[in-house]
Amino acid sequence: MATKKDNNDLPPKRRKKLTGKDIAPYIFVLPFVISFLVFMLYPLISAFTLSFQQLIPFTNNSEWVGIANFRRVINDPGFTIALWNVARYTFWTCIILIPLPMLIAFVVNGKEIKFKSVFRSMYFMPVLTSTVIAGIVFGQLFSAEAGGAFNQLIGLFGREPIRWLHGAGTGMMALVLIAVWRWIGVNMIYFLSGLNGISNELYESAEVDGATNWKKFLYITVPMLKPITIFVLTISITAGFSLFNESFVYWGVSSPNNIGATIVILIYRAGFLLNDFGFAAALGVSLFLIVLVVNLVQLKVMGLFKED
């Protein structure tokens, strides 16, 4: 006959009580999670949904059109021109705004340089300036009149005034120049943070072997800053293809022969001026996919997915 098991022989129930230490990490990440869901994930899903629809103006009704909006994107010659413009802009900004800030950071971080904080502040100051104000100032510098600063400069060499913002080559130069002036300090700060993680013993060993500053930069600094370089390259590609502010303050929504046309300007024009929100959403989704593919390719080329 089975006897009743004593309650004392039963294993005690283990109840895990949540303490402040357990809850604290979730509380700290909660604002980010909420911000991501509200300001990133929800708009992204809404844009994807809207890109397959056509909103009827002045009503809350919409019509499902499938991939018709994406067909319009592919067949739109303005999209091809805008894509070529932002691709060129991204190429030139990456060519300049990665090696140059890295070199400046290396020089500013040198032991023989005094007043390092002053130089860092000077290079970082342009990013604190309003894009609109910077665009107005640079627009005056590139003025087609003889009184423009750059036309005055070339006038000293006997050259005729140039309509800088009316040519494809000079217009692109104006865009790249304002980008370099504005963002060189930010990228320098990124590289300075990476330099702080490089052991001084590497440079001291190189000095013992007779390495020059250039060789130390080339064979120690550049390889050790590869993670920062990948990060800067990624955000530069994203910012390049998302070009809007600089082009808008130069030309507005319409530029001569579309030399300043960008994909974001096409989105702005379609959505806010023509009320063609379905087409604008399709342009936005296309931009997102292009940036995603380009960044994945560059991350693959840079070896980010390789196992150590």
In 3-state terms, what secondary structure has residue 63?
Answer: strand
18 domain residue, yes or no: no
Element (H, E) at 64: strand 62-64
- Containing domain of residue 143, as a range? 53-301
Q: Is 154 left (phi over 0), alpha (psi -120 to 50) or beta?
A: alpha
pLDDT in tens, 183-201: 999 999 999 989 888 888 8
pLDDT in tens, 18-64: 566 778 888 888 888 999 899 889 988 988 999 999 887 666 777 88
Report the pLDDT value the prediction gives residue 254, as an integer from 0 to 100: 87
13 domain residue, yes or no: no
Closest CA to 260 of 76, 86, 95, 79: 86
**Model confidence, pTM:** 0.84
CATH number for the domain including 146?
Answer: 1.10.3720.10
37 domain residue, yes or no: no
192 domain residue, yes or no: yes
How many structural domains does the chain have? 1
Question: Do residues 219 and 184 touch, judged by C-beta distance below 8 A?
Answer: no
Going by pLDDT thresholds of 50, 70 and 90, the confidence category of residue 149 is: confident
Cβ-Cβ contacts under 8 Å for 263 (sequence gap 6 or more): 79, 82, 83, 86, 241, 242, 283, 286, 287
Closest CA to 57 of 270, 263, 265, 267: 270
41 domain residue, yes or no: no
What is the pLDDT of the chain when averaged over all its residues?
86
Say which DSSP state 259 is in. Answer: T
25 domain residue, yes or no: no
Residue 218 has pLDDT above 50, yes or no: yes
